[in-house]
Amino acid sequence: RYRLSFFMKLKDVRAYQFGGGACVLVMHGGDDTAHTFPDLTGSSDWIHQEFTFTARPEKSDDAPEFVRARLTNASGEVWFDGFRLEEVK
């Protein structure tokens, strides 16, 4: 298990459709392992975000696990900072 923490700052983020906005995903083999929820919209000062997830066992034919910070199906600006990944024991 791992804990991912980081900060986000938003400026005029407006979703084009349901589910749009700023988010961070942990991906493995093309599937969400964990993610911020809900996607954030609007404007804000720095917001601390944190979630835990369990890494999947890697197989030779799987895509590696990775973190994706993104603004999807939305307009505006978003900043990400201070990413920290820690093993939870």
pLDDT in tens, 5-32: 999 999 999 999 888 999 998 877 666 6
Predicted local distance difference test score (pLDDT) of residue 35: 73
State the average pLDDT over residues 59-73.
Answer: 77
| pLDDT of res. 79 | 97
Residue 60 has pLDDT above 60, yes or no: no
| Distance (Å) of CA 11 to CA 6, 7, 67 | 17, 14, 22
Per residue in 25-56, pLDDT tens? 887 766 666 677 778 999 999 999 998 888 77
Whole-angstrom distance, CA of residue 50 vs CA of residue 9: 14
pLDDT value of residue 49:
93
Which H helix or E strand runs over 54?
none
